[in-house]
Homo-oligomer: A and B are copies of this chain.
Amino acid sequence: MLYLTIDILGTIAFAISGVLVAMEKRLDLFGVFIIAFVTAIGGGTLRDLLIGNTPVGWMQDLTYVITIFISVVFAIIFVNKLKYLRKSLFLFDTIGIGLYTMVGVEKGLEAELLPVMCIFLGTMTACFGGVIRDILCNEIPVIFRKEIYATACILGALSYFLMIQFPVKDEYAYIAGILVVILLRLLAVRFKISLPNIYKKQVQ
């Protein structure tokens, strides 16, 4: 039940983030829907394909399509009232990657993959939808911008595997994993933390 709720919340967060990017680019109604849809299901689709879970999740169950549809309608209605589009986008995207990272980890565990592969899978589930969204909207993919992004997903998933080594209830470790991702991303952007430089210093 918890896992399904988290999955649906992630779908909502990413669908809204898709609407925000698509409307900033002033795409038409169909374009907004397609971007929202692809953002919301992109990561999960890649994950399901890689582990051979077919037909992919959102095809077996109307829940996802209906959730996305309702989220998009709401987002379109309310977007014109949003004063801080960029900030809202950042927030929904950040919540989305937190939720989806752990959804991906969970699916990896169900497929009996090694922890390191589950971490990969969680990170891909979280990041891939946003990457497709940005490529289709002609933005630089979030994953390649200066800030910590996928690194937050990796560390969040890692913290889950560390926690379940101890006598912690799985649900708590699961939710903690989500919070670690969200918190790391918020802190990284707030304090402008980025990865270390690997190049020789140059006079520019």
Contact = CB atoms under 8 A, between A and B. Distances in A.
Interface of A: 23, 26-32, 34, 45, 49-52, 54-56, 59-60, 62, 65, 76, 80, 111, 113-114, 116-117, 120-121, 136, 143-144, 146, 150-151, 194-200
Given A31-B144, A34-B143, A150-B34, A54 B55 contact: no
A54 B46 CA distance: 12
Contacts of A45: 50
B51 A54 contact: yes
A76 B197 CA distance: 12
A90 to B, nearest CB: 19
A151 B153 CA distance: 36
B49 A49 contact: yes
Contact of A196 (B29, B56, B200): B29
